[in-house]
A = this chain, B = another copy of it.
């Protein structure tokens, strides 16, 4: 069903083919928004793998740390960080995993004491990424356990703090928050520290940094992540975890990572590329456009609010700009106590509840990186909710 263009708030929301009764799935972070870019690039991003290629478990016999990684994958990752300037790769070991999800668990394992008298606490400041807790708790490990909100950690015991920056769900730039005098180890999850989401204000140089292909270029189906690790023993222990968990990482995936990162970097390093055709510029533009449309609707909303982000100077784009996070961290205003249920029941939008992120149910997370249709339909429904609210409809 085609819904006519809505100009109620002075901005147009494009028509979509989604019926008003269809539930819009914005609970997960499937990065469909970037598909458009890769379609425009056409065949130059294709990979071909022949039947007899990539049959071995091994990637690089000379790599005495991450033995299943192809040498060209390592070069691609170093090149990408060199181009973007978002992280130090000098004097760092690279460990690759089946998504940052696997590497996060590898990192926690590697930083945990091997023979603890009790499990070490793994902490993150709320609101924290909704999956950390389940990933840590699923096997009831005797090595580590979920310790909850880092901001309220008061124990004088060793801990591991995960710092997600920009944060998922709320897009905030973060540093460690634990005040304990006990010895803490840090994992920096920098999945969203890329120029399309946030200004690149500095080259991150932490001891253990995680990145993912899913959120960088949008290839979530590939299941690929990487860690930059300062200490060789930590890198080796992470590699051992990945070995025991899945004997390495798909070589087909690694082949594609090399191709896609190569296309991104070539754009920046080859003379004559048009700025609007460069991956991060193009993607930033897409996300900025969405955020501007969102602000126009949210600013007039009586039901929802979203915190504003400060501008910052981006060393990569050489301009000052606001972040364009990958998620909307929506707060329901007074009168709506359960944001997720309200969204589902009244707007037929599936969001992820605030409670999953360790905060109260007035909050919910909505994906900002889904398809155009889903995003526009979401805007229309939020805009309509405002009107119903004005009409005094009870919610």
Are B253 and A250 interface neighbours, CB within 8 A? yes
A239-272 vs B, CB cutoff 8 Å, 1 = contact: the mask equals: 0010011111111110110011001000000000
B50–A48 touching, CB < 8 Å: no
B247 in contact with A250 (CB, 8 Å): no
CB contacts (< 8 Å) of A359 on chain B: these are none
Segment at the B interface, from A80-88, A217-225, A299-307, A313-321: A217-225
Bound complex: CA A47 to CA B36 (Å): 22
Q: Check if A56 is an interface residue, CB within 8 A of chain B.
A: yes
A237 nearest CB across to chain B (Å): 10
Cβ-defined contact, A48 with B47, below 8 A: yes
- In the assembled complex, A134 has its CB within 8 A of some CB on chain B: yes
A22 within 8 A of B: no
Given A142-B142, A250-B221, A252-B252, decide whether A244 and B135 contact each other with a Cβ distance below 8 A. Answer: yes
Stretch at the interface among A96-104, A151-159, A323-331: A96-104
* A28 engages B52 (CB within 8 Å): no
Contact in complex: A222, B246 (CB < 8 Å): no
Given the contacts A139-B143, A142-B140, A38 and B52 also touching, CB distance less than 8 Å = yes
Q: Which residues of B contact A224 (CB under 8 A)?
A: 250
**CB neighbours of A219 from chain B (8 A):** 54-55
Chain A, range 98-113, C-beta contacts under 8 Å to B: 98-99, 101-102, 105, 109
With beta carbons under 8 angstroms apart, the residue of B55, B142, B245, B251 that contacts A31 is: B55
Chain B residues with CB below 8 A from A389, complex form? none
Instruction: Check A55 against B28 for contact (C-beta < 8 Å).
Output: no
| In the assembled complex, A334 has its CB within 8 A of some CB on chain B | no
Identity of the chain B residue whose Cβ is nearest the Cβ of A40 in the assembled complex? B52
**A28 and B46 contact, CB distance less than 8 A:** no
Which of B49, B97, B105, B250 is in CB contact (< 8 Å) with A47?
Answer: B49
> Using an 8 Å CB-CB cutoff, how does the interface string of A172-184 with B read, 1 for contact, 0 for none?
0000000000000
* Interface pair A58/B30, CB less than 8 Å apart: yes
Q: Answer whether residue A39 sits at the interface, using C-beta atoms and an 8 A cutoff.
A: yes
| A 263-302 contacts with B by CB, 8 A | 263
A141 at the B interface (CB under 8 A): yes
Please tell me if the beta carbons of B143 and A98 are within 8 angstroms of each other in the complex.
no
Question: Given the complex, which residues of B lie within 8 Å of A218, measured CB to CB?
Answer: 55
Q: How far is the CA of A32 from the CA of B55 in the complex (A)?
A: 7
Contact across chains for A140 and B138 when beta carbons are under 8 A apart: no
B residues less than 8 Å from A214 (CB atoms): 57
Q: List 8 A-B contacts (CB under 8 A).
A: A44-B51, A46-B51, A48-B48, A55-B220, A97-B246, A131-B244, A138-B244, A224-B250
Smallest CB-CB A-B distances: 10 pairs:
A45-B51, A140-B142, A221-B251, A252-B252, A38-B52, A38-B51, A250-B250, A98-B246, A139-B141, A54-B221
Q: Which residues of A contact B (CB under 8 A)?
A: 28, 30-32, 34-36, 38-39, 41-52, 54-58, 97-99, 101-102, 105, 109, 131, 134-135, 138-143, 214, 218-224, 241, 244-253, 255-256, 259-260, 263
